[in-house]
Amino acid sequence: MREKNKITGAIFLLTILVMVLLNFDRNHTTVEATNASESDVQLIARAINGEARGEPYEGQVAIGAVILNRVKHPSFPNTVAGVIYQSGAFTAVADGQINVPIASGSTVVKAARDAINGWDPTGGAIYYFNPNTATNKWIWSRPRIKTIGQHIFCK
Amino acid sequence: MKIKEKIAKLPEKTKIGGIIAVFAMIVFVLILFMEKQEKNYIQVSENSYNMAFCELVDYVQNVEIYLSKALVSNSAEHGAETLTRVWREANLAQSYLARLPISSNELENTQKFLNQVSDYTYSLSSKNIQSEKLTQEDLENLAQLHTYSQELANILEQLSVDLNAGRINWSDLTEEKSSIFTQEVSNLSKDSFGSVEENFHEYAGLIYDGAYSEHITTQEKVGLTGEDISKEEAEDVVLEYLQNEDIREIQYNGFAENANIPAYEFYAKINKNGKEENINLSISKKGGYIIFANLDREIGAEILSQEDAEEIGRKFLEDRGITQMKSTYYTKQSGIVTINYAYYQELDGQQVVMYPDLIKVKVALDNGEVLGMESTGYLNSHHERDLAEIKITKEEAKKNINPNLEILSEGLAVIPTEWKTEIFCYEFRGKVQDREFLVYINVETGKEEDILIILNTENGVLTQ
């Protein structure tokens, strides 16, 4: 009996080991490539999903709009991917939230499409922050435009 | 003796000790393994940061070199070639700069500097390509940009000495400490860089033909006419927009003074077939225009065609007094179609499509309901145009088109350029090997101004 226990114990430990290793790897796999013509919509949708999936619809469109406002702005990279993956730009990129799969029935793809079609609820914002969690003092000094959901949007 | 028997013979304590030892060993191996993995990942990211930095140094040095060459060049052809190089090198430099693990606001000015060098030299090179010589002002701007680029190259050179001596550790930088690099570079932007920000303010008035030219965002909004309205009047606009809806609640969300178009913000809750839906509206202070309205809901089975939706959208605009709108393109997503409508003006019985005067309307394909509209383009640029005199006949214009293009339709249009100016053109829609194109020929000069590809995708008819 004891032998069996030992074997089960070993198997149990091995399973944990394997699971840890697998998980370890999963966190670092790159995101799958998307259809080229749709890739910007998908990337923006994933960024919205990572940054604001709990926000009201307008707040989701707003995140997409900020990304696109940055692409057009001289102080930021000139492509969607450049803006989204710029170092320190989005917490969802830093903590991997951007790689969380989009839930079915989620509105983030629609929100991304609206932003690309020109809806900009932020009125031209290039920054936003959550006043409850923002640690960067500098961000408070930016001229405010408006608050949508949990986020304050600024120039 | 078999191992099993051996183990069985061991005293109980030793057995437990053995199990603990095995467990400890597994944990130990696991920790070692994870440490090695982490080390690998740190090394990979260090390497990619180092690579980005070295690329940045090289490209900035090249920017400096080619800018100084451009200053000396005296022929338009060679000038164009040199400026094109500056454009390329500066563009790559800004792209590598963005990859460094330094938060964007620390390097905003440097990023902007590189972007504008790239953009400005691009516009000058297209000037040179048309055999125009650079003006004294252009040369002065270039000389100023060159001085900045020298400073930047020097400081980067200094930092690369630190890097090669192992004094820069990127993984330290990603933590939220102030670092040598950010200190250096923010000093650079404050002192030795000659305060890039301040100097770029001087460019605010400089209108060069480029997408990142400062005047783009501050351009006058010619479509935004009329008197300023109060919050109460803005609410009336909201009520009028929602006149056929079962309104539950209207909530005022404040006045956005700093928005591109200062506006009153509203949320409305409306009852739709027993379901509460949210709609949000932004009403301009000046003139009381609807900048945008947007409602999101789930769409049922699609029963309407694209043509039905276009007609609904056009009628919707007409009911709001926005007439002479022509649908141009559309996109589709989750049962919602977003149609672009452009204003047209009559000229000798012909419609001239004003592409910058754009309003977008969202129509639900399940019941034909209008879900939203967006009119920034229209508010930015709508006005009655004094069209330039047509100097090139349509036949002459056609001669400037690639003979392989099988022309399907032709018309007149005013198209926006990347830097928000407008050009009056002939618009030819044509086909080459099953691919549709739009070709724009300037009505005054006969110059081919733009070519667009028409993409028929499942998500709509788009141009690129």
Chain B residue with minimal CA distance to A106?
B298
Q: Quick check: B177 pLDDT over 60?
A: no
The pLDDT score that the predictor gives to residue B7 is: 67
**Is B131 in the A-facing interface, judged by CB distances under 8 Å?**
no
Q: Which CATH class is domain B394-463?
A: alpha beta
Answer yes or no: do A123 and B34 touch at CB < 8 A.
Answer: no
The pLDDT-based confidence of B209 (bands split at 50, 70, 90) is: low
Choose among A21, A28, A87: nearest Cβ to B41: A28
**Is B212 in the A-facing interface, judged by CB distances under 8 Å?**
yes
**Is B95 in the A-facing interface, judged by CB distances under 8 Å?**
yes
pLDDT in tens, A87-112: 778 888 888 899 888 888 889 999 99
What size, in residues, is chain B?
464
Chain A residues with CB under 8 Å of B294 CB are 57-58, 61, 114, 119, 121
pLDDT in tens, A24-51: 333 332 222 223 347 888 999 999 999 9
- Contact residues for A101 (Cβ-Cβ < 8 A; gap 6+): none
C-alpha–C-alpha distance, residues B392 and B442, integer Å = 8
Q: Which residues pair with B267 in a beta bridge?
A: B251, B280
**Is B217 in the A-facing interface, judged by CB distances under 8 Å?**
yes
| Domain A36-154: CATH superfamily, name plus number | Cell wall hydrolase SleB, domain 1 (1.10.10.2520)
**Is B461 in the A-facing interface, judged by CB distances under 8 Å?**
no
Answer yes or no: do B360 and A121 touch at CB < 8 A.
Answer: no
- Contact residues for B216 (Cβ-Cβ < 8 A; gap 6+): B419, B420
Least confidently predicted of A83-92, B196-205, B353-362 = B196-205
C-alpha–C-alpha distance, residues B114 and B92, integer Å = 9
Chain B residues with CB under 8 Å of A119 CB are 292, 294, 360, 372, 374
Answer yes or no: do A17 and B26 touch at CB < 8 A.
Answer: yes
Helix A57-72 with A108-116: angle, nearest 10 deg: 40
Q: Which two tokens stand for residue B36?
A: 């090695």
Options 3.30.450, 3.30.70, 2.60.40, 3.10.450; CATH for B219-297 is: 3.10.450
**Is B30 in the A-facing interface, judged by CB distances under 8 Å?**
yes
H/E/C letters for each residue in chain B? CCHHHHHHHCCHHHHHHHHHHHHHHHHHHHHHHHHHHHHHHHHHHHHHHHHHHHHHHHHHHHHHHHHHHHHHCCCHHHHHHHHHHHHHHHHHHHHHHCCCCCCHHHHHHHHHHHHHHHHHHHHHHHHHHCCCCCCHHHHHHHHHHHHHHHHHHHHHHHHHHHHHCCCCCHHHHHCCCCCHHHHHHHHHHHCCCCCHHHHHHHHHHCCCCCCCCCHHHHCCCCCCCCCECCHHHHHHHHHHHCCCCEEEEEEEEEEECCCCCCEEEEEEEEEECCEEEEEEEEEECECCCEEEEEECCCCCCCCCCHHHHHHHHHHHHHHCCCCCEEEEEEEEECCEEEEEEEEEEEECCEEEEEEEEEEEEEEECCCCCEEEEECHHHHHHCCCCCCCCCCCCHHHHHHCCCCCCEEEEEEEEEEECCCCCEEEEEEEEEEECCEEEEEEEECCCCCEEEEEEEEEECCEEEEC
**Is B334 in the A-facing interface, judged by CB distances under 8 Å?**
yes
Answer yes or no: do B294 and A121 touch at CB < 8 A.
Answer: yes
Q: Quick check: B211 pLDDT over 70?
A: no
Answer yes or no: do B259 and A122 touch at CB < 8 A.
Answer: yes
Scan residues 187-206 of B and list those with Cβ closer than 8 Å to A: none
Q: Which of B28, B258, B363 should we substitute to test contact with A (largest number of A Cβ atoms within 10 Å)?
A: B258
A92/chain B closest Cα distance in angstroms = 14
Protein fold of B300-385: Nuclear Transport Factor 2; Chain: A, (3.10.450)
Sign, CA torsion B176/B178/B184/B187: positive
pLDDT in tens, B391-423: 999 999 998 888 889 999 999 999 987 766 889
- Contact residues for B254 (Cβ-Cβ < 8 A; gap 6+): A146, A147, B264, B265
The residue to which tokens 């879900």 are assigned: B371
Contact, A68 vs A77, CB < 8 A? no
Scan residues 108-127 of B and list those with Cβ closer than 8 Å to A: 108-109, 111-112, 115-116, 119
Coil, helix or strand for A37? helix
Instruction: Tell me what the mean pLDDT of segment B306-315 comes to.
Output: 94
The pLDDT-based confidence of B239 (bands split at 50, 70, 90) is: very high
Contact, B369 vs B363, CB < 8 A? yes
Give the highest mean pLDDT range of A128-132, B107-111, B228-232, B389-393: B228-232
Chain B residues with CB under 8 Å of A28 CB are 41
Choose among B98, B105, B360: nearest Cβ to A138: B105
Chain B residues with CB under 8 Å of A85 CB are 99
Instruction: Tell me what the mean pLDDT of segment B302-327 comes to.
Output: 93
**Structural domain spans, chain B:** 31-218, 219-297, 300-385, 394-463
The pLDDT-based confidence of B323 (bands split at 50, 70, 90) is: very high
Scan residues 349-408 of B and list those with Cβ closer than 8 Å to A: 358, 360, 362, 372, 374, 376-377
Answer yes or no: do B376 and A120 touch at CB < 8 A.
Answer: yes
Chain A residues with CB under 8 Å of B253 CB are 146-147
**Mean of per-residue pLDDT scores for chain B:** 83
pTM reported for the whole predicted model: 0.80
Chain B residues with CB under 8 Å of A1 CB are none
Q: Quick check: B17 pLDDT over 70?
A: yes
The pLDDT score that the predictor gives to residue B281 is: 95
**Is B463 in the A-facing interface, judged by CB distances under 8 Å?**
no
The pLDDT-based confidence of B48 (bands split at 50, 70, 90) is: confident
Chain B residue with minimal CA distance to A41?
B333
Answer yes or no: do B98 and A109 touch at CB < 8 A.
Answer: no
Q: The complex's ipTM?
A: 0.80
